[in-house]
Amino acid sequence: MWRWCYGWVVTFRYAFREIRSHWRDRQWWRKRILSRAVAPYFTRLARPDSDPLVERDWDNVVLLDACRYDLFAEVLTDNELPGTLDKRHSVQSGTPGYLAENFAGKQYHDVVYVTANPYVETEIPENTFHAVDHVWKDSWNEETDTVLPEVMCERTLAAAEKYPDKRLIAHFNQPHTPFIGEHRLDGRGMDAIRKTALEEEGPDPRGRLRTPFERLGAGDVTRDDVWRAYRSNLERAWGSVEAVLRELDGLSAVTSDHGNALGERAWPFPIQVYGHPLGILIPALTEVPWHTFQNGDRKGIVAEPPARNTDGVDADIEERLRSLGYAE
């Protein structure tokens, strides 16, 4: 009884200090309501139907991080891409949840995962896949604070050549922030996630920048500002995605792990959502593209014990990247 009372007092004091420090901060209140009330509602009481990536039929997947369906469809109307567009519903509204609910605790020894996103290192146990190429470890672009799509194209095609009898997932960072397209918008990028994955000291979270979507929620920028930069970031990667589709053999799909919200409400709650907080399973965050294209015959897929993870690149790949200006 005494321990229960003591724990309750500590919790109350912590909550009181938090409220006293942030009670005027609209963003703080939004995040607390979303995490403490809205996310449990969607994940425990009213989880919508979804079709997990691992249950779909594919030989290759080009995964565009944080790409909502309507953004992809809009860019597709103005840019060529072979194949047919459809829609699917992701299992989660953020990358850690997408990785955990699709892959954690399972084995996919017929899959090679090529990733620009550091969360694959922190959220997925070793030996889940046949091999993982952590492109973010050795080809991070310090100037843009991300992995460039041209680098991901090179590494994806190299993996396909090295593992011709494996399914392939190529996890691009775009159109996730930072926005590196023609139209840019300042805000937090992915460097803190990378530093955490490398077990390095990251920036003080109390002084971290807001993402462009959080800036929209705070009224610092307009929806048009964010959408233009968001779209431009997808267009920045479009040529690399097209090159991958045209080069890879078999049935390829372009999809995403989740979307991004720009003020849509989390019905039945009247609260607006910005960005992609975990567990908020609304259409803006779970409706993603499923664009398929078959190039030649299907692959002959073979599952084999995990290979040594390819944290680096072979010398010939390194030389090609250097000639293109993407490696130092």
Using the structure block, give the residue that is written with the tokens 């300042």.
186
b/e code 289-323 from CB counts within 10 Å (16+ = b) = bbbbbbbeeebeeeeeeeeebbeebeeebeebbee
Q: Tell me how far apart the alpha carbons of residues 159 and 166 are, in angstroms, rounded to a whole number.
A: 9
Domains of the chain in sequence order: 26-324 (3.40.720)
Quote the pLDDT of residue 206.
Answer: 52
What pLDDT was estimated at residue 25? 58
**pLDDT of 209-264, one tens digit each?**
789 999 999 999 999 999 999 999 999 999 999 999 999 999 999 999 999 999 99
CA distance 30 to 199: 30
Q: How far apart are CA 69 and CA 19, in angstroms?
A: 37
CA 292/CA 58 separation, integer angstroms: 9
The pLDDT, as a whole number, for residue 315 is 45
Contact predicate 279/35, CB 8 Å? yes
Closest CA to 126 of 309, 303, 302: 309
Question: Of all helices (H) and strands (E), which one includes residue 2?
Answer: helix 2-22
Q: Which 8-state DSSP code applies to residue 48? A: P
10 Å Cβ neighbour count for 68?
26
pTM for the full predicted model: 0.86
Mean pLDDT over the full length of the chain: 87
Q: For position 22, what pLDDT does the model report?
A: 44
Task: State residue 205's pLDDT score.
Answer: 53
pLDDT confidence of residue 18: 46
pLDDT of amino acid 203: 58
- The pLDDT value given to residue 8: 35
Residues of the chain with pLDDT under 70: 1-29, 201-208, 308-328
